[in-house]
Structure 1
């Protein structure tokens, strides 16, 4: 049991060091270390003043006991000077402490935000279902970690300094005590120090026994509070849908259920805190009388003056506080441990996501290992995320940026596979009509003549493929194949339609190409800038111009933005470019999709991926918008999913995805 307890505490310490090292271990953090040194300096100086006040106690109370009124004015002035210096130390130390806490919080927040949003980890962690409530961990737990860590460290240093300063004073005041027990004589030196140690040890043990459940209850409280807050936000974000469904009563029931979980935790937490606070109240009151009772025999024996007794009380309280630091700080330590555990778990989940290959998934016997060879993740580079897009036109093919993450060993296999695809395309040209793709007969795409393994010059009339899939397939997180392997090439200005029965994995294949879905096999290559338009547009809070150019800063002239809004049927908004608003709640579903298409006109990507991008518009409006898009983006390869017959007719070629065979 002791070994398990020790392992738990060591694991907690390792988690804290892992969280703190990037900030405190940096070579440029000398300002923060200077702040910490200043805080410690003010703390030590205040302890020095406390020693002076303890000596003042003896002189003041001795003068009081002898009715020495002449000494009082000087003693009062001296005390006021000490108090002024101590107050200055406390105020300055607290001010510097707040600055240091905010610096640490800022560093942690920026690091966690960047890590969470980088590499699509916010999406991948959501797929994995861990950890819960990352918003609370970033917004609240980070502050709690920085604040409680600094406060506890300063308190610990303060107590170490108090012990060092007062233990000698208390030892000297204790003198040498002789007593007889069972006809044996004993001599004890510094017995008041031993009394303080014994009292603090007993109090610490009792405090731990009384409050040992507090950590788990605090962790559970944070979980339940965050779940309730998330449910409230969900109602706020879907207020219109809830109103349409007349769902207020249903949401009230769900909210009450979440709140009852908070009440259940609160009852157990308050019961535990009641026991802990009862113990604490008794501990504080008893601590006041322990030094008086311990010194009373010496005072009655006239070996101590009244001033000595008061000085002993002050010194005993300081030493006993030092011994009892764990008891005094028990609740804060429990809350700190809960925060470290939650943030440590969040960091561990992010680290696991960092170490997860782009197409890795849990080991599954149903998925052969060779399907996850070297060519994974060609849709992503460290510099540019798979869904990001340049606001400038794509560079010419010979200078375009190809996004690759492929090992040298696997490049040969991909080149050979693509060479076979392109060779088949060159010898068997297919008319640009609908046809299926099967793993046994990979379909060609428009264009050809790009064989990496062939010295032949490409035909000038045929564009270079911007999208290449080589035996690409999609899997579930459990490793089950969803699609038969797909092999194809495509180039601008082709419009390529992905078809297949509902739920087969069409949208998931687009997620693979966006670098979002890590569970896939085979290889793919995307060349040039790209933009993905999902079914549900994301409209962040901000100005309309920033919403149109999202996720990049807007560099387009107002006249260009006016034309774009007019083209997508949102001309009524052209005079509201600088209006900041919650556009997702101000615009209808169809208007949001129009605004999403405006992003494509603003970005002019090399490849545009459309996932039911007009499914909230009527057929006539959808057809008109898609015709406009085809005219406005003549140099863009469009890969889309749609169930609207009019829109489907605009595509030059269709690929019917086939469901993978069971087993």
Structure 2
């Protein structure tokens, strides 16, 4: 019972925000119309059930005029049913896309705000493939939630509408048992109830493993698709390594999980299909068998028999909603679980960043970057760095060096506000813009103009962009500003880093933080770009993470980090700075 309540709470937690959002009145209005149409369809089926009695009686009585009259009634009812069903589907799809659009935007906002996407990825854990959860799982959640809840509503209304009809048509059933006469009023209702209870119990027993299997299937499909995307993004590296066999092994391994889990789903669904199809086929003839004694005794005519069978089918179908919808329910449960765990991971990431003890850079009152008593930990609370103290003024330059894995990049992440795991103080300058250059620049999809200006969308003239590209050693790109391609594959790693320097010239930040931003260049190219940076942006402070000794010529201070855990850092001037 607790699991069911938790599941309902999870559904409501995901669904509720939309129904109380700025789009709530449009959503509620559409839902109200759809529900009204569902009730109308049930009402028409009630009329059709009554029509069964009159129609088959005309056949039994060979009443030709009555036959044509009943055909006319059927045509009117069928036309009304078709019109309502078509527009119910149309409005349902309209509500689906409105709800999906709003929910997708809400998840994207939560994912992007406060660098949550970064913290979630950094923590790893159970939150695999957030792209699939936003793109596919939200789509499935909206569709399945509407389909299943409206289906349940129709079943309940159908049950209420037809149970009285079936009760009246059933009459009393006399049974001689244990030497006494027993009379069961409305016995067809009790037969339908018992039949549905048995089917529901069997369905749950057989189909329960589908919930976990569907959850894993979505995960394995996403993992396989992600591995294909990774190859597309790293085609040159794979080709140079001649890693085709290795990639093929990865693809086959991940797709093997897809196939293996799919076989398990197939076997379980086969078992469930034996049950549900057998259940449905028996339900076709079962009401006739149950009502046959009254028909052959003359208590009811053919029309009454057909109406009773139709009403039994409606009641039994309504009571068997769980049996018919179990496969979809299992898939829905897996979708809700994936969205719930994703939401919990985002909340945990937000809590990590906002925790009272979390490391958060503060805005200072001076034009200085200050770091005092800084200690950094890994996400699992293992110490990484300790005792970091430094002060940097505008125009000063700092080289951060040390062995690989000692925490140099993590220090830059902490300064950028991306690393909450630590203690101490980071005081940012009172004013001025900052720019951070990772080792592998991010190149978004779009025109070269948009890539060069990223993250700014506009406001930079084409001539300025061309000049910056030329100054950074990319004159061959100056005439391709309107070209749209996958620039991360079009450009070499060195060209990508040159493009990142061109962005610096266009943005002219006051504080520049670079994490091995010239590692893909040769030393003359690196020297030329650093000289260009000092020439064009002499008042900008620069913090560089790097290994090459040639970088010393462009920095006045060195923060040397030691190996071991936790590592220490020593701040010294660089005598040969130029």
Q: Does the pair score TM above 0.5?
A: yes
Instruction: Note if contact 2:447-2:482 (Cα within 8 Å) is conserved in structure 1.
Output: yes
Rounded Cα–Cα distance in structure 1 between residues aligned with 2:236 and 2:515 = 24
Per the alignment, residue 377 of structure 1 pairs with 360
For 1:136-535, list aligned pairs within 5 A. Answer: 136-357=132-353, 372=357, 376-378=359-361, 403=363, 464-527=366-429, 528-535=432-439
Moved more, 281-290 or 67-76: 67-76
Rounded Cα–Cα distance in structure 2 between residues aligned with 1:377 and 1:220 = 37
Instruction: Note if contact 2:167-2:188 (Cα within 8 Å) is conserved in structure 1.
Output: yes
Q: Secondary structure at the match of 2:383?
A: coil
Q: Secondary structure at the match of 1:483?
A: strand
Q: What's the offset of the Cα at 1:27?
A: 5.9
Rounded Cα–Cα distance in structure 1 between residues aligned with 2:111 and 2:279 = 45
Work out which of the residue numbers 450, 462, 484 in structure 2 matches 1:580: 484
Work out which of the residue numbers 9, 26, 31 in structure 2 matches 1:36: 31
Q: Secondary structure at the match of 1:605?
A: coil
Change in CA separation of 1:646 and 1:27 when aligned onto 2, cut-off 3 Å: closer
Instruction: Note if contact 1:466-1:637 (Cα within 8 Å) is conserved in structure 2.
Output: no
Per the alignment, residue 112 of structure 1 pairs with 107
Tell me, yes or no, if structure 1 residue 563 matches structure 2 residue 459.
Answer: no
Work out which of the residue numbers 608, 624, 639 in structure 1 matches 2:512: 608
Rounded Cα–Cα distance in structure 2 between residues aligned with 1:480 and 1:283 = 58
Tell me, yes or no, if structure 1 residue 635 matches structure 2 residue 542.
Answer: no
Moved more, 479-488 or 48-57: 479-488
The CA deviation string for residues 490-534 of structure 1, in whole angstroms up to 9 with x for no partner, is 121111111223321111100111112221220101122111000
Rounded Cα–Cα distance in structure 1 between residues aligned with 2:244 and 2:334 = 35
Instruction: Note if contact 1:482-1:659 (Cα within 8 Å) is conserved in structure 2.
Output: no
Instruction: Note if contact 1:359-1:377 (Cα within 8 Å) is conserved in structure 2.
Output: no
Instruction: Note if contact 1:359-1:519 (Cα within 8 Å) is conserved in structure 2.
Output: no
Per the alignment, residue 92 of structure 1 pairs with 87
The CA deviation string for residues 442-498 of structure 1, in whole angstroms up to 9 with x for no partner, is xxxxxxxxxx7xxxxxxxxxxx53311111122222323322311221121111111
- The TM-score normalised by the length of structure 1 is 0.83
Rounded Cα–Cα distance in structure 1 between residues aligned with 2:177 and 2:36 = 47
Per the alignment, residue 409 of structure 1 pairs with none
Rounded Cα–Cα distance in structure 2 between residues aligned with 1:537 and 1:501 = 22
Instruction: Note if contact 2:406-2:564 (Cα within 8 Å) is conserved in structure 1.
Output: no
Per the alignment, residue 25 of structure 1 pairs with 20
Rounded Cα–Cα distance in structure 2 between residues aligned with 1:480 and 1:511 = 17
The CA deviation string for residues 99-120 of structure 1, in whole angstroms up to 9 with x for no partner, is 1111111111111111112222
The CA deviation string for residues 378-423 of structure 1, in whole angstroms up to 9 with x for no partner, is 26xxxxxxxxxxxxxxxxxxxxxxx47xxxxxxxxxxxxxxxxxxx
Rounded Cα–Cα distance in structure 2 between residues aligned with 1:585 and 1:660 = 37
Instruction: Note if contact 1:570-1:594 (Cα within 8 Å) is conserved in structure 2.
Output: yes
Rounded Cα–Cα distance in structure 2 between residues aligned with 1:45 and 1:108 = 29
Change in CA separation of 1:168 and 1:489 when aligned onto 2, cut-off 3 Å: same
Q: What's the offset of the Cα at 1:25?
A: 2.7
Q: What's the offset of the Cα at 1:262?
A: 1.5
Per the alignment, residue 461 of structure 1 pairs with none
Q: What's the offset of the Cα at 1:179?
A: 2.3
Change in CA separation of 1:660 and 1:485 when aligned onto 2, cut-off 3 Å: farther
The CA deviation string for residues 190-225 of structure 1, in whole angstroms up to 9 with x for no partner, is 111111101000110011111111101111111111
Q: Which runs of 4+ in 1 moved over 6 A?
A: none
Change in CA separation of 1:195 and 1:140 when aligned onto 2, cut-off 3 Å: same
Moved more, 197-206 or 176-185: 176-185
Rounded Cα–Cα distance in structure 2 between residues aligned with 1:87 and 1:377 = 61
Q: Secondary structure at the match of 2:479?
A: helix
Instruction: Note if contact 2:449-2:482 (Cα within 8 Å) is conserved in structure 1.
Output: yes
Instruction: Note if contact 2:443-2:451 (Cα within 8 Å) is conserved in structure 1.
Output: yes
Instruction: Note if contact 2:386-2:566 (Cα within 8 Å) is conserved in structure 1.
Output: no
Instruction: Note if contact 1:500-1:656 (Cα within 8 Å) is conserved in structure 2.
Output: yes
Rounded Cα–Cα distance in structure 1 between residues aligned with 2:354 and 2:301 = 78
Q: What's the offset of the Cα at 1:661?
A: 6.3
Moved more, 23-32 or 521-530: 23-32
Rounded Cα–Cα distance in structure 2 between residues aligned with 1:644 and 1:655 = 14
Q: Secondary structure at the match of 1:488?
A: strand
Q: Secondary structure at the match of 1:485?
A: strand
The CA deviation string for residues 127-161 of structure 1, in whole angstroms up to 9 with x for no partner, is 21131111111111111111000000110111111
Q: What's the offset of the Cα at 1:547?
A: 0.8
Instruction: Note if contact 1:483-1:658 (Cα within 8 Å) is conserved in structure 2.
Output: no
Instruction: Note if contact 2:227-2:251 (Cα within 8 Å) is conserved in structure 1.
Output: yes
Q: What's the offset of the Cα at 1:28?
A: 4.7
**Cα RMSD (Å):** 1.6
Aligned length, in residue pairs: 564
Rounded Cα–Cα distance in structure 1 between residues aligned with 2:150 and 2:489 = 47
Q: Secondary structure at the match of 1:309?
A: helix
Q: Secondary structure at the match of 2:300?
A: coil
Rounded Cα–Cα distance in structure 1 between residues aligned with 2:315 and 2:385 = 72
Instruction: Note if contact 2:402-2:408 (Cα within 8 Å) is conserved in structure 1.
Output: yes
Q: Secondary structure at the match of 2:478?
A: helix
Q: Secondary structure at the match of 1:551?
A: coil
Rounded Cα–Cα distance in structure 2 between residues aligned with 1:352 and 1:576 = 44
- The TM-score normalised by the length of structure 2 is 0.95
Task: Identify the structure with the greater helix proportion.
Answer: 2
Q: What's the offset of the Cα at 1:659?
A: 4.9
Moved more, 495-504 or 525-534: 495-504
Per the alignment, residue 596 of structure 1 pairs with 500
Query: Can you give the 5+ residue segments of structure 2 that lack an aligned partner in the other structure?
Result: 568-578
Rounded Cα–Cα distance in structure 1 between residues aligned with 2:529 and 2:407 = 26
Rounded Cα–Cα distance in structure 2 between residues aligned with 1:94 and 1:12 = 27
Instruction: Note if contact 2:510-2:540 (Cα within 8 Å) is conserved in structure 1.
Output: yes
Change in CA separation of 1:63 and 1:209 when aligned onto 2, cut-off 3 Å: same
